[in-house]
Amino acid sequence: FIYSRPLIQISAPTTRNNSATSAPKQSSLPLTLIGTFVEKGRAPYAIIEEQKRNTQEVFSIDDKIFGEALLKKILIDRVEISRNGTTE
């Protein structure tokens, strides 16, 4: 997952102590989540910045993010991506 840059200080989500479910690892890709749009009844999207080129683009579920990973889930405070068979 990629966390957004906080406009206000927000604690990172805590993981539950549940051996059946493991939390995705944080991505090492040079990407920054700028923001997400999540509203019931409307398609969610995320604005992600590629740090190398300082470029921002809008992505939807199943979009390829800057040729690096596939966007799998968009939540209010983070996104989950798939890269090399691993969820980040």
CB 59 within 8 A of CB 48: yes
Q: How far is CA 30 from CA 15, 19, 52, 65, in A?
A: 24, 29, 7, 11
Give the pLDDT score at 3.
Answer: 56
Give the pLDDT score at 24.
Answer: 72
Question: Over its length of 88 residues, how does the chain's per-residue pLDDT go in tens digits?
Answer: 555 554 433 344 444 444 445 667 788 899 999 999 999 999 999 999 999 999 999 999 999 999 999 999 999 999 999 999 999 9
